[in-house]
Amino acid sequence: MRAKISLGIEILLVLSLGGCVTVQPESHFEAVQTLGQERVQTEIVWSQDAEQVQENFQRASTLAQDGLTRDEAAHIAILNNRSLQAELENLGLAAAELTQAGLLQNPTLEAFVAFPLSVGSSGLGLIGWLSDLWQVPRRKRVAALAARQAEYTAVWHVMLTAYTAAHAWDAVVATRQLLHIEQELLVVRGKAAQRLQIRYGHGLADTTEMEEAVSMQAGQEIAVHEAKQAVTQAVTLLAQTLALENAADFISTHTLETIHFEQQSLQVTLQYAMDNRLDLAIAHAEVERRAKQHELERALIWKTVLFGPRWEGDFEDVAGGENSIGPTLSIELPIFDQNQAWIAASSYQLRQAIRRLEALQRLVAKEVVEHYRGLDRMHAALLILENRLLPSTDTSVNYAQEWNHKMQLPFITVLTEQVHQLEVQRRIVQTRKMLNDTWRMLQLARLGASPHMP
Amino acid sequence: MKASKILTRRKLLTAFAAATTGALSARRAVSLAGPASPARLDQNAELSAADGHGHPMHGMSMNPLVDRFPRRHPDIVLSSPPRTMGRQMGRVVTPGIPPLGYRMDGDVKVFELIAQPVEVVITEPDSVEHRHAPTIPEGHQRFQPRSSQPKTMLAWGYNGNCPGPTLEATEGDRVRIILRNELPEPTSIHWHGFELPFSQDGASGYHPFEARRPVLPGQTEVYEFDLMQSGTLMYHTGFNVMKQEALGLSGAFVIHPRRQERKIDKDFVLVLQQWTFQPGNPNPNINAMEPSFATFNGKTAPSFPQLVVHQGDQVRIRFANLSLLYHPIHIHGHVFEIVGTTGGPIPVSARWRDVTVTIGPGETRDIELDAWNPGTWRLHCHVLHHIMNQMPDQPMGIAPHEGMFTHLKVIPNERGYDPRSPRAPWEYPPKQEGI
């Protein structure tokens, strides 16, 4: 009797220890760090409690204090961005899913006690899920693939956060520079309107020219308002992305420079994207996961198979009475429900995943070629603007000023040339910003995912 | 000859002394004039080679957004014309422009001219064609000339008129002209074609070689001289001429000879001017070289009046060209004789008959004719762009009579005679000598 009690205690101990499995997301985060740091060249942090959140906020604030650069903006965003931290929690969820998928289903303890005790036989059985033997490994494989997808998705959010921060930083610098140019244009167009009125008084202009100058001035006032709104949008985007109020105040740069880059050939870039893009990796994992899911669904034909020891006898006389002990097997027979629908659904999902993968490969090619060529052309346009148009307008302004000074050109010509000069300067800033944006888009196309990825 | 080439000690000392004196004098002269003295212009000094465009100017140091040369002085109240304005004391008629009389100060005829901004109606809103539209016969309606568009000009003139009134005097008179400047910038009057003392010429400025400085805004200046010639002469601004003359500061000055060669029944003065306007802008563009309006006495047909004479009248028409282009003026139905230039009457033996007389810029021409041929004869510039307002810059259509265009209307002596009728009797008279 003592021995049997001891056996019972040991069984309960084993069962209770079986419930002590913990969720371990660290390995997933390490994978995210490895993949992410390759892509954003900065430390990736997962703040898992309030203390860490506060600590990272302090680090972010300190980083920003001495003049916020573009790279620092990306770093701070990864440290401090709340949306990214929320996305990183998916790693814990994936780890939990994986852990849960690996757990055996709890055994069933069943007992039958006859009343009165002396009259009939009683029974006691411990039934386990024999079907877990073929279902759990398959479920784990599916969950492991989902966890890998979660890792890739987290890296995508890291990239997106860093690039959004860099984009917002560029936007702040560019929109401030553009606002300054628009304000200068307003001054010049105001002077032009004033000068045109004088010219009208001297018979040198007609009403339409004078009114056009007035309307250009009014239009420029609108442009200044729009430029101010663009600054507001950029500043608030930066503050939101970095989760740092007044982040834009720490930017001391006044001129937007282009990102220095060296471009590989289109073929190499395209191949690199095919090998490294996160959404492609996610799609590949999805195909694999759907295949495993299909296997799991097929395994679920024999959904419930129970097996365990069972005792029957008289509680009153366990030792000497008529007792029997033996294995019991319980099978849910797949007569009506053979899980056909879910097997078919998983098959469709698999085919869908394959088609989506193929479509994504096309999209990758489209995006890479588009941004690669866009970068080339943007760069060529910038070279023309900086090396030909700007010097030309500078020369024209100097020429107009010199010969106006010598009273051989009207002042309106000086103003017209100044307008051209400012318009070229505006276009340079816009092109530089577009170049930087396109470079980031190309990096996302090479290493990340489509911006439209759900 | 040989002895003169020998360089003696005495000659050497003399030459050295002369050279030293000359050098010192020259140095003194330079130091007095100063390197940037305007005297250099007077002395026709060599132009600086700097940038190939002469002397670099100091440029516009003032704010270019302030109108430093407005068309009207904000503080000067414009005077009414002098009392003598409108008093016909001579013989010529300047259609569209009131005459200017004079007062006598002893033996001196005193004229008063006030230079001031003026508003000139070049054409009236209602054109003759428009008013006569109902007379257009059946089938002709769609060929009706388009209406002339009204045009008002903000110009500069004298005594409220642009061009200024015609001054009339007689050879041998002494005249005094009092000029009051009510413009926003200095001005003067140049007496174009006059033989007079240099101090009275009126071509004023700030160079030392010029006799007079221009009259400042709000101030008055007097010119006085004897008239030593006769003919059709002109007066126009003598300061900042390109601008001020282009804005209209000009007029005619008729000096009658002491003795008339023959009796003239009608004596007209037509001042020829041209203007450029941006569409809709009443301010003339003085920079443009392609004028868009051509006027007789500041007006264009159809607003310019006809020259009305009677059959048999001896008619003189004096053309004074103050525009920048040549104008060949043609008269229909009559041969005329060109009898005078700015220099005075052409000797009888040198006169010639013609039907078109070309008057160059700065020139005057007098023609005389016998108005024997009844009718309403066209008188116009034969540069045909000049008989169209806004010239070819507007849709052509059927053009009305505009620009330098009017009619010499010869009223028949016989009552009821209608020169428009093909059945009207017409007799070609024997040609008179001299016409």
Q: What is the DSSP string of B229-283?
A: --EEEEEEE-SSHHHHHHTT-EEEEEEE-SS-SS--SEEEEEEEEEE---TT--S
Q: Copy the structure tokens of residue A197.
A: 């009125």
Confidence of residue B192 (pLDDT cuts 50, 70, 90): very high
Q: For position A385, what pLDDT does the model report?
A: 98
CB contact under 8 A, B281 and A406: no
CB contact under 8 A, B57 and A200: no
More confident residue, B13 or B234: B234
Confidence of residue B21 (pLDDT cuts 50, 70, 90): very low
Mutate to test the interface with A, among B281, B287, B290, B292 (most CBs of A within 10 A): B281
Which chain A residues are within 8 Å of B283, Cβ to Cβ? 200-203
Interface membership of B73 toward A (CB under 8 Å)? no
Task: Give me the mean pLDDT over the B230-249 stretch.
Answer: 97
Residue B65 in this model has a pLDDT that exceeds 60: yes
Distance (Å) from the alpha carbon of A227 to chain B's nearest alpha carbon: 27
Interface membership of A205 toward B (CB under 8 Å)? yes
CB contact under 8 A, B278 and A204: yes
CB contact under 8 A, B60 and A405: yes
More confident residue, B315 or B51: B315
Task: Give me the mean pLDDT over the A298-326 stretch.
Answer: 84
Which chain A residues are within 8 Å of B285, Cβ to Cβ? 202-204
CB contact under 8 A, A201 and B57: no
Q: For position A121, what pLDDT does the model report?
A: 75
pLDDT digits (tens, 9 = 90+) for A126-144: 999 999 999 999 999 999 9
Interface membership of A209 toward B (CB under 8 Å)? yes
pLDDT digits (tens, 9 = 90+) for B147-185: 788 899 999 999 999 999 999 999 999 999 999 999 999
> How many Å apart are CA A400 and CA A394, to the nearest integer?
10
Mean per-residue pLDDT over chain A, rounded: 91
> How many Å apart are CA B40 and CA B38, to the nearest integer?
5
Task: Give me the mean pLDDT over the A62-84 stretch.
Answer: 92
> How many Å apart are CA B260 and CA A384, to the nearest integer?
79
Peptide bond connecting B98 to the previous residue in cis, omega within 30 degrees of 0: no
Return the percentage of chain B with pLDDT > 90, whole number. 69
CB contact under 8 A, B276 and A203: yes
CB contact under 8 A, B281 and A195: no
Distance (Å) from the alpha carbon of A383 to chain B's nearest alpha carbon: 33
Q: What share of chain B is helix, strand, coil (3-state, %, to 5)?
A: 15, 30, 55
Return the percentage of chain A with pLDDT > 70, whole number. 93
CB contact under 8 A, A191 and B65: yes
Asked if A378 and A438 count as a contact pair (C-beta separation under 8 A), the reply is yes
pLDDT digits (tens, 9 = 90+) for B353-411: 999 999 999 999 999 999 999 999 999 999 998 998 876 556 667 888 899 999 999 99
The string of DSSP codes covering B302-367 is TTSPPEEEETT-EEEEEEEE-SSS-EEEEETT--EEEEEETTEEPPGGG-EEESEEEE-TT-EEEE
Q: For position B36, what pLDDT does the model report?
A: 33
Task: Give me the mean pLDDT over the A304-325 stretch.
Answer: 82
Residue A48: C-alpha distances to residues A93, B309, B415 (Å)? 13, 112, 120
Mean per-residue pLDDT over chain B, rounded: 86
Least Cα distance to B197 among B220, B180, B175, B219 occurs for B175
Residue B246: C-alpha distances to residues A267, B277, B291, B320, B334 (Å)? 72, 12, 11, 15, 33
Task: Give me the mean pLDDT over the A32-58 stretch.
Answer: 91
CB contact under 8 A, B281 and A411: no
Residues linked to residue B431 through DSSP beta bridges, in sequence order:
none
Mutate to test the interface with B, among A188, A197, A406 (most CBs of B within 10 A): A406
DSSP code, position A386: I
Confidence of residue A192 (pLDDT cuts 50, 70, 90): very high
Asked if B263 and B176 count as a contact pair (C-beta separation under 8 A), the reply is no
Interface membership of A201 toward B (CB under 8 Å)? yes
Distance (Å) from the alpha carbon of A415 to chain B's nearest alpha carbon: 11
Q: For position A1, what pLDDT does the model report?
A: 46
Which chain A residues are within 8 Å of B276, Cβ to Cβ? 203
pTM score, whole prediction: 0.77
Interface membership of A204 toward B (CB under 8 Å)? yes
Nearest CA in chain A to B68: A198
Task: Give me the mean pLDDT over the A70-75 stretch.
Answer: 94
> How many Å apart are CA B226 and CA B208, to the nearest integer?
26
Q: For position B19, what pLDDT does the model report?
A: 47
Mutate to test the interface with A, among B63, B67, B286, B293 (most CBs of A within 10 A): B67
Q: For position B391, what pLDDT does the model report?
A: 67
Interface membership of A405 toward B (CB under 8 Å)? yes
Confidence of residue B289 (pLDDT cuts 50, 70, 90): confident
Task: Give me the mean pLDDT over the A344-369 stretch.
Answer: 96
pLDDT digits (tens, 9 = 90+) for A395-438: 999 999 999 988 889 999 999 999 999 999 999 999 999 999 99
> How many Å apart are CA B88 and CA B124, to the nearest integer?
25
**What one-letter code names the amino acid at B213?**
R
CB contact under 8 A, A411 and B287: no
Distance (Å) from the alpha carbon of A406 to chain B's nearest alpha carbon: 5
Least Cα distance to A256 among A429, A391, A72 occurs for A429
Q: For position B431, what pLDDT does the model report?
A: 66
Nearest CA in chain A to B279: A206
Confidence of residue A76 (pLDDT cuts 50, 70, 90): very high
> How many Å apart are CA A128 and CA A108, to the nearest integer?
6
Confidence of residue B68 (pLDDT cuts 50, 70, 90): confident
Q: For position B43, what pLDDT does the model report?
A: 40
Nearest CA in chain A to B53: A406
Q: For position A118, what pLDDT does the model report?
A: 59
CB contact under 8 A, B287 and A206: no
CB contact under 8 A, A201 and B278: no
Which chain A residues are within 8 Å of B71, Cβ to Cβ? 201-202
Residue B101 in this model has a pLDDT that exceeds 80: yes
